[in-house]
Amino acid sequence: MAATVRVRSAVLAAAVGISAIGAVVWSNRSTNATPDAVLDEPGEYQEPSGSTNPPLPTDRLPAVTLSDAAGQPVELRSDGRPMVVNLWFSTCAPCAKELAEFAAVDADLGEKVRFIGVDPFDTPAAMTQFAAARGVTYELLRDPGESLGQALDVVAYPVTLLVAADGTILAETGPMSGEVLRKRIEVLFP
């Protein structure tokens, strides 16, 4: 019986020793690891101010067929007014922030400029509910095949296109406030 107690004590001591050595090795590895990013100067995180997408491969709004919330095909083209075409989806945090602000700009300038929201990922119900909760009343289209995004080489959302009445893309941006959008519309579409 005494031998069994000694064996158990020796096994327990060995396990504690191995655990302690493992903890020291792990601690040294994690404290000596190379950080993911190093700031030159301390600061606060800010959302990127410009688009992280590559330059547009075209200066024309691509001729693509999208669908409305009912699943009916819709050709993406001008109705004679300049357009704000915003590519977004519901789980994109910057997209959610933008939608409410864009809805306010549309409420003021929607007669002058046609607003279109294009969602490549959500179901029709999710798209309309999410947008409605943010005050969006402008046209919403689905692009489940990502035809527009692929034609424009979109890799990061949101993307906003400011398009002249003739289909020329005058500007492309990433996340943008309603105030900046309003100023751009005033400059590009006086």
In the structure encoding, which two tokens stand for residue 51, read together? Answer: 């688009």
Which residues have CB under 8 Å from 97's CB, separation 6+? 175
Which residues have CB under 8 Å from 8's CB, separation 6+? none
pLDDT along the chain (190 residues), means of 10: 63 59 56 52 55 77 94 93 97 94 96 96 97 97 94 92 95 94 95
| Cβ-contact 151, 64 below 8 angstroms | yes
Give the C-alpha separation, 40 to 19, whole Å: 38
